Chain A
Amino acid sequence: MPKAGIIVAGSTSVQPFAEVLAEEYMTLHPDVTIDIQGGGSAAGIMAAQSGIADIGMSSRELEGGEKSLWYVEIARDGLAVIVHPSNPIGNLSLNQVRDIYAATVSNWSLLGGPRSQIHVITREDGSGTRAAFESLVMGKAEITPRAIVQDSNGAVRQLVADDPNAIGFISLGLVNETVKALELGGVAATRENVINGSYGLSRPFLFIARSQPTGQTKQFIDFTLSAEGQKLLATEGLIPSSDGTGK
C-alpha cells in the first residue's frame, strides 16, 4: 500500500508542535512528506504499536506494557491549572486542586472566593493531558463524574475564559491572556519554574515507534532532537528535552 510519507498520530497536545516541526522540516527537505494526525495519546500509542502510524505522539508517560515500545522524549510541557482572570483566587495547594476535582469541595467560598458553585472542567478519558493530571494531582482519587468534559486544550481554555466559575487544566504553553494560571503551593506556573523543578506539574511529550526508527522517520526524529528543532519547540513555549538521545 503506497504510503504518504511519514505518518505521525496521537496526542492533541503534541499535535500543533509536531505540525510546526514538520512544516519546518519539509521546507528543509522538500522531498519528504509528513502528515500529522490527532486522536489523543492513547490512540497515538495504539497507532504506533499497530504500525498505522510511523510515529505516535503521547503527552504522558508510558505505562505497563507500553514501555516495550521505542520512545524518546522530545520536550517537556508544564501543566497549568487555569481559572477565569476575574477569579480572586490566585494560589491553591495541590490538595485543594485535588479536592475540587474530586468534588469534595464544590463551592468557591470554601476557598476564600465568591459564593458560587465551582464548574470543574476536565479532558476526555483517553487524553494524555488528563492521564498526566490524574497521576500528578489526583493520585488515587477519582475526578468527579459531574465534571464537564471537553476534547481539546483549546476548548478547555475557551470555556474557562468565558465562565468566571470555571477551573480547568491545559498545556502550560497554551496559557494566554484570556485565562489565569494558578500558582500551586505558592509557585508560579512558568517555564523557568518547570525547568528548575519548583513547579511540579509537568509531563513529557513523547515520540513513540514500534521499533527503532530508520530512514526518513529516524531523520525527522533526529531533527526534532537537534538544536534547531529544540529551539523551535522552545519558541512555541515548550521546555527542551532532558533526554537528548533516543533509547
Chain B
Amino acid sequence: MKSLKEKISESVFLLIALSALSALALITVFIFIEGVPIIAKVGVVNFVFGMKWAPSQGAFGIFPMIIGSVSVTLGAAVLGVPVALCCSIFLAEFAPATLSNLVRPAIQLLAGIPSVVYGFWGLVFIVPAIRNYLGGPGLSILAGSVILAIMILPTVISISEVSLLALPRLYKEGAFALGATHWQTIRSVLMPAAKSGIVAAIILGIGRAIGETMAVIMVLGNAVALPQSILDPARTLTTNIGIEMGYASGEHQEALFATGIVLLIIIMILNAIAQYAARRR
C-alpha cells in the first residue's frame, strides 16, 4: 500500500523523466522533420553519393564530406590509437604510482581543453609544418588527423586503462607462474582479455573524432571538392554544417539538417557496435 507521499514522489520522478526524454525526442524528431524533405526531394542516393555540394545551384551531394569525415577519422585512429594503447599499458602496468598519479590527471586535463584552442594550436604549429615540409597548403586531411588524434587520446587512454586495471590479478599471476615475461603477459594475456573494453574505448574515440567541428574547421581547409591525397584540403560532415549554418535558409538549411541525420545514423551505428562489443565478454 503506497502512501500518498510515495505516489506523489513517484509521479514527480516520472514527470521529470518524461520531460527529459521528450526534450531529447524533440531534438531527434526536429532534425528528421527538417531534413527528410530535402532527402526525399533529391533522392537518398543522390544525396549520400552526390559529388557536388553547391547549394546556391541546387546541388546537394555530400559524398566528398563523407570521404572527408572518414579519412580524417581513420587518420586520427591510425595515429592516435596505437599511442593511446601504449600509454594505457604504461599507466596500468609500468608506471610507478607517483608517476601515474601525475600523468593521469594531466591526461584528463587534455580532455578539457576547448577544441578551438586545439584548432588554433594546430593552425600555428601543425599546418605550417605540413606546408613547409610536405607541401600543399598545409590545411589538409593530415593536419586534421593529427589534431584529432591528439584530441581523442584522453578518451581512449582512460577507458583502456580502466579495462586493463579491471582484469583479475589471477590472469597476470598465472602467466608469470608459467614463466612469461611482463611483455608476453601483456600482449598475449591481458590485452586479449581486455579486448571488449579496449574496443569500446576506440569506438568512443572514433565517435568523438567524427563529431568534432571547431578544431577541424580551422585546420582542414573546407574545400568542397573530393580530396585526392592526405595533403589536400577537405570538408567533413560536421564542418559542412558549421561553416554554412548561419547563412542557410530554405533548402540549404534543410540540407544541413539532412547532414545531421546522416551523422546521427553514423553515431547510432557506432554505438550499436560498441554495445555489441562490450557485451561479448
Direct A–B contact in complex, judged by CB atoms less than 8 Å apart:
yes
- On whether A39 and B223 interact (CB within 8 A), knowing A163-B138, A165-B137, A166-B137, the answer reads no
The reply on A124 being an interface residue by CB < 8 A is yes
Whether B222 and A145, one on each chain, are in contact in the complex, defined by CB atoms closer than 8 angstroms, is no
Which of A20-28, A148-156, A216-224 is the contact stretch?
A148-156
Task: Identify the A interface with B (CB < 8 A).
Answer: 38-43, 46, 119, 124-127, 142, 144-151, 159, 162-163, 165-166
Whether A148 and B139, one on each chain, are in contact in the complex, defined by CB atoms closer than 8 angstroms, is yes
Kindly list chain A residues whose C-beta atoms are within 8 Å of the C-beta of B224: 145, 149
Docked Cα-Cα span, A90 to B246, in Å, equals 35
Whether A126 and B247, one on each chain, are in contact in the complex, defined by CB atoms closer than 8 angstroms, is yes
Whether B233 and A148, one on each chain, are in contact in the complex, defined by CB atoms closer than 8 angstroms, is yes
- On whether A119 and B137 interact (CB within 8 A), knowing A124-B247, A125-B244, the answer reads yes
**What 0/1 pattern do residues 123 to 147 of B give for CB contact below 8 A with A?**
0000110010000011100000000
The reply on B267 being an interface residue by CB < 8 A is no
Kindly list chain B residues whose C-beta atoms are within 8 Å of the C-beta of A142: 54
Whether B246 and A126, one on each chain, are in contact in the complex, defined by CB atoms closer than 8 angstroms, is yes
Q: How many A-B residue pairs have CB under 8 A?
A: 67
| CB<8 Å pairs between A and B, sample of 15 | A39-B246, A40-B246, A43-B246, A125-B56, A126-B248, A145-B225, A146-B233, A148-B221, A149-B235, A149-B243, A162-B131, A162-B138, A163-B131, A163-B137, A163-B138
Which 6 pairs show the lowest CB-CB distances between chains A and B?
Answer: A126-B247, A145-B225, A149-B222, A39-B246, A42-B247, A119-B137
The reply on B55 being an interface residue by CB < 8 A is yes
Partner of B55, one of A40, A125, A146: A125
The reply on B249 being an interface residue by CB < 8 A is yes
Docked Cα-Cα span, A49 to B258, in Å, equals 25
Whether B243 and A146, one on each chain, are in contact in the complex, defined by CB atoms closer than 8 angstroms, is no
Extra pairs beyond A127-B247, A150-B222 (19, CB < 8 Å): A42-B248, A124-B243, A125-B55, A125-B247, A125-B252, A142-B54, A145-B52, A146-B232, A147-B223, A148-B137, A148-B221, A148-B222, A148-B233, A149-B222, A151-B222, A162-B128, A162-B138, A163-B131, A165-B137
**What 0/1 pattern do residues 214 to 246 of B give for CB contact below 8 A with A?**
000100011111000000110100000001101
Whether B223 and A148, one on each chain, are in contact in the complex, defined by CB atoms closer than 8 angstroms, is yes
Kindly list chain B residues whose C-beta atoms are within 8 Å of the C-beta of A126: 244, 246-248
Kindly list chain A residues whose C-beta atoms are within 8 Å of the C-beta of B248: 42, 126
- On whether A145 and B223 interact (CB within 8 A), knowing A151-B217, A162-B128, A165-B137, the answer reads yes
Chain A CB within 10 A, most for which of B53, B128, B221: B221
Whether A149 and B221, one on each chain, are in contact in the complex, defined by CB atoms closer than 8 angstroms, is yes
Kindly list chain B residues whose C-beta atoms are within 8 Å of the C-beta of A162: 127-128, 131, 138
B133 to chain A, nearest CB (A): 14
Kindly list chain B residues whose C-beta atoms are within 8 Å of the C-beta of A46: 249
Kindly list chain B residues whose C-beta atoms are within 8 Å of the C-beta of A38: 246
Kindly list chain B residues whose C-beta atoms are within 8 Å of the C-beta of A39: 246-247
B128 to chain A, nearest CB (A): 6
- On whether A144 and B222 interact (CB within 8 A), knowing A119-B137, A125-B244, the answer reads no
Docked Cα-Cα span, A142 to B246, in Å, equals 22
Docked Cα-Cα span, A146 to B235, in Å, equals 11
Kindly list chain A residues whose C-beta atoms are within 8 Å of the C-beta of B225: 144-146
Kindly list chain B residues whose C-beta atoms are within 8 Å of the C-beta of A43: 246-247
